[in-house]
């Protein structure tokens, strides 16, 4: 890394510790984000997988939703995985009426579209710009049902986008933090430090 980025990891629920470990291996200065003040010195943010309805509620009760929405609107780079992708999407099918998303990327997703926990799977996906496949872990993953014109599709599985990017937003329906392969996290770090 040419510059040491301060990357926050939303640490309300979900697999945030695994994201922290991957980012630290890449030399990032990692901060856990639980309160609005924790966002203040972050150059970027990772929104981990977990349960999107629970995360939405915790964003409200921690008073983080509105400050984070403002930072995202101002261009804060963000990487959302699984539930994080759901929270970043423009529209979420099957969402509870009280569930909010940030609309940070022009994407429609369907929650848990690949099935229940027992239907979770792993597969190799070709990622644009990678010299070899990335081993992707899908756990109750969202399915992308619509991609906006300004969204770049970086990887697909069964003809469905599973890794996408738009301006300062990177989103994956799988869990790259559950792999020993840090290339997707490196892609995000490169977006932050470019």
Instruction: Kindly give the pairing relationship between strand 134-138 and strand 169-172.
Output: unpaired
The pLDDT, as a whole number, for residue 4 is 76
Task: State the residue range of the domain holding 27.
Answer: 6-193
Could you tell me the pLDDT band of residue 169, with boundaries at 50, 70 and 90? Answer: very high
Task: Let me know: does 95 contact 101? Beta carbons within 8 Å.
Answer: yes
CA distance 32 to 10: 6
Task: Let me know: does 125 contact 133? Beta carbons within 8 Å.
Answer: yes
The pLDDT, as a whole number, for residue 176 is 96
Domain count for the chain: 1
Average pLDDT, the chain: 92
CA torsion 144→48→129→155, rounded to 10°?
A: -20
Q: Residue 156 domain-assigned? A: yes
Catalytic pick among 19, 157, 177, 185: 177
pLDDT, mean of residues 9-15:
92
Task: Let me know: does 123 contact 157? Beta carbons within 8 Å.
Answer: yes
Give the sheet arrangement for strand 143-147, strand by strand. Answer: 89-93, 105-110, 143-147
Q: Residue 55 domain-assigned? A: yes
The pLDDT, as a whole number, for residue 114 is 64
Catalytic pick among 19, 20, 42, 175: 175
Q: Residue 1 domain-assigned? A: no
CA distance 115 to 8: 30
The answer, yes or no, to whether residue 185 has pLDDT greater than 80, is yes
To the query of whether residue 175 is one of the catalytic residues in this protein, the response is yes
Q: What CATH number is associated with residue 87?
A: 3.40.50.880
Say whether pTM exceeds 0.75.
yes
- Give phi and psi for 19, each to the nearest 5: -65, -45
The answer, yes or no, to whether residue 161 has pLDDT greater than 70, is yes
Catalytic pick among 20, 42, 82, 185: 82
- Residue-wise pLDDT tens digits, 84-117: 999 999 999 877 777 789 999 999 999 876 666 6
Q: Residue 161 domain-assigned? A: yes
Q: Residue 178 domain-assigned? A: yes
The pLDDT, as a whole number, for residue 1 is 38
Q: Residue 61 domain-assigned? A: yes
- Within 28-82, where are the H helices? 52-61, 65-73
The answer, yes or no, to whether residue 5 has pLDDT greater than 70, is yes
Q: Residue 67 domain-assigned? A: yes
Q: Residue 12 domain-assigned? A: yes
| Cα-based distances in Å from 26 to 1, 40, 90, 127 | 7, 22, 30, 19
The pLDDT, as a whole number, for residue 132 is 97
- Residue-wise pLDDT tens digits, 20-60: 999 999 999 999 999 999 999 999 999 998 888 888 889 99
């Amino acid at each position: 890394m040419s510059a040491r980025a301060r990357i926050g990891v939303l640490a309300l629920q979900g697999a945030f510790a695994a994201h922290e470990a991957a980012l630290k291996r890449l030399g990032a200065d990692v901060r856990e984000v639980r309160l609005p003040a924790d966002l203040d010195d972050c150059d970027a943010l990772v929104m981990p997988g977990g349960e999107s309805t629970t995360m939405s509620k915790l964003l409200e009760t921690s008073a983080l939703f509105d400050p984070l929405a403002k930072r995202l609107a101002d261009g804060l780079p963000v990487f959302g995985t699984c539930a994080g992708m759901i929270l970043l999407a423009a529209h979420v099918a099957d969402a509870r009426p009280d569930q909010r998303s940030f609309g940070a990327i022009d994407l429609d997703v369907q929650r848990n579209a690949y099935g229940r926990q027992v239907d979770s799977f792993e597969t190799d996906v070709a990622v644009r710009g990678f010299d070899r496949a990335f081993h992707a872990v899908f756990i109750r993953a969202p399915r992308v049902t619509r991609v906006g014109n300004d969204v770049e599709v970086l990887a697909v599985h069964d003809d469905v986008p599973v890794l996408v990017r738009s301006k300062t937003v990177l989103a994956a329906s799988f869990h790259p933090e559950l792999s020993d392969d840090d290339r997707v996290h490196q892609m995000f770090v490169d977006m932050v430090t470019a």
